[in-house]
Amino acid sequence: MGSYLNPGNLSFRGSLRSKIYVDKSELIARTNEALCTEQKYICVSRPRRFGKSMAVNMLAAYYDRSEHTEELFHNHAISKDESYKENLNQYDVM
């Protein structure tokens, strides 16, 4: 049985080491905009093999409160967003 609450960032760390990693951290900024609003339900639909699992792993690594993950995101586009520090590692993730 796997860990479902605060799964950590091991999967996202593996994605970062990949030679074909594409920075999609702008999705975090869009998600931060929707937090605690009426539009809080977000559907990320993409064709097969377009990085849905990687995006979910990235979101889990960003929001997961069980580990400090600032070093994973400091070179990515999200680090320049004003909501970056405000929501980093602040939530329980499933």
What is the helix, strand, coil percentage profile of the chain, to 5?
Answer: 45, 0, 55
Its pTM stands at 0.86
Q: Report the largest interatomic distance among the alpha carbons of the chain, rounded to a whole angstrom.
A: 38
pLDDT in the model for residue 3: 63
Q: Residue 61 burial by CB count (10 A; 0-12/13-18/19+): exposed, middle or buried? A: buried
C-alpha 28/C-alpha 83 separation (Å) is 9
Query: What is the chain's alpha carbon radius of gyration, rounded to the nearest angstrom?
Result: 13
pLDDT in the model for residue 1: 56
Over residues 47-84, the pLDDT tens digits come to 888 888 899 999 999 999 988 999 999 999 999 999 99
